[in-house]
Amino acid sequence: MADSARGVQAVRGEQALTVRESITVNREIVEAFRLFTDGIGEWWPLKGTSFSYGGERADKIFLEAIVGGRFYERFTDGEEFDVGRVTACEPPTRIVFTWKDPSWKAPTEVEVRFSAEGNGTRVDLEHRGFEAAGVPAEQAAGWAEGWKMVLAPYGEAAKNRA
């Protein structure tokens, strides 16, 4: 299974922008959740991409699946960069964490829901709060393509994981 759907919803009256991405993986829900959280370092495209704050120093990424847990990178020199914090965690169906780029006024919020679908799991990601962070709509819309590129290796890892 490898279907993927994406979308960006903008509500002009409130200037709200939400990025949505979905993928279905051929893994049971508990395994899909665990791979997304504890196994994030196995699939997140850190090196040689723009999906790391460490650039050439990119090394590892972690998502601690507990309320108050960190979402962070550890660079090759040992320095750590906090991307965000887990604000809700309901294994194996849901995790919510903040995402704060250093140039933003406030953090955004990423919610990931896992639901059984056939013999696999549907993973629905919603990234919201760009307007509060002061991110221009056109820049925020670019995150839709970014999440698609991040979730593709997650889908591959789910296929290949023993």
| Residue range 44-57, pLDDT digits in tens | 999 888 899 999 99
CATH number at residue 94: 3.30.530.20
Tell me whether residue 49 is in a domain.
no
Tell me whether residue 63 is in a domain.
no
Tell me whether residue 155 is in a domain.
yes
d(CA 124, CA 145): 15
Using 70 as the pLDDT threshold, list the residues of the chain that sit under it.
1-16, 161-162
Say how many domains are in the chain. Answer: 1
Which residues are CB-neighbours of 62 under 8 A, at least 6 positions away? Answer: 40, 41, 70, 71, 72, 73, 74
Q: Give the domain range for residue 130.
A: 4-43+88-160
Q: What is the pLDDT of residues 61-87, one digit of tens each?
A: 999 999 999 999 999 999 999 999 999
Tell me whether residue 66 is in a domain.
no
